[in-house]
Amino acid sequence: MTNPQENTDAPGAPEVDWDAEAAAFDEEPDHGLRDPETRAAWAARLGAWLPERPADVLDLGCGTGSLSLLAAEQGHRVTGVDASPAMVERARAKLAGRDAVVLRGQAAAPPVGEQRFDVVLVRHVLWTLPRPDRVLRHWRDLLRPRGRFVLVEGVWGTTSPVGIPAGRLTALLAPLTADIRVERLSGDSVLWGKEVEDERYAVVARV
């Protein structure tokens, strides 16, 4: 049997109707960031992961735009991309008046043309995509020299776990980046609005 951690052709997540999910999406503590403490925790993490100076940030699979908003509030220029029209509508409303644009498109092949970015920011999306090795190579091509990946991923569940382990993701990034740092997030319950026991982490990798 093929080791799922080595199978770059493994299927992604089951199909989800994200338009139908959009109305309730922000009810999850780490999605809507409505609790001030949870919001502050994500803002602090993002502040540590993103460049100190204003940068061009590409937020792929941005959902309702909660992380995009935090990045914009920290002075960055943000381009959000999501495939769901309902998510895009909510993200545009959330980012109104900010130095930000939200586009409808696929995270694996964002509709940004020749534009290049200082940061590719992705949370809980890469694990859903077939051929993550190819996706990461494409995303690297969207980065400027000395740009960085900020990838928040994990493995969820115990009986039938889904996700991408940190070891596999760092192995996929190794040929593409010169510096990889893994930050474990499972122990910070404030980020999730609850205690979690599964694997949750962020990878910051520079090209």
The answer to whether residue 170 scores a pLDDT higher than 80 is: yes
Q: Where residue 177 falls among pLDDT bands split at 50, 70, 90? A: very high
| pLDDT for 37 | 97
How many angstroms separate the first and last alpha carbons of the chain?
34
Cβ atoms within 10 A of the Cβ of 86, count? 17
| pLDDT for 13 | 55
pTM: 0.91
Q: Residue with structure tokens 């792929």? A: 60
> ∠ CA 110-115-117 to the nearest 5 degrees?
85
| Cβ-Cβ contacts under 8 Å for 39 (sequence gap 6 or more) | 33, 70
Average pLDDT, the chain: 91
Q: Where residue 8 falls among pLDDT bands split at 50, 70, 90? A: very low
Q: What is the DSSP letter of 179?
A: E
The answer to whether residue 10 scores a pLDDT higher than 50 is: no
The answer to whether residue 189 scores a pLDDT higher than 90 is: yes
pLDDT tens, 38-79?
A: 999 999 999 999 999 999 999 999 999 999 999 999 999 999
**Dist CA 61 CA 120 (whole Å):** 11
Which of residues 20 and 38 earns the better pLDDT score? 38
Ramachandran assignment for 11, one of left (phi > 0), alpha (psi -120 to 50 degrees), beta (any other) = beta
pLDDT tens, 89-98?
A: 999 999 999 9
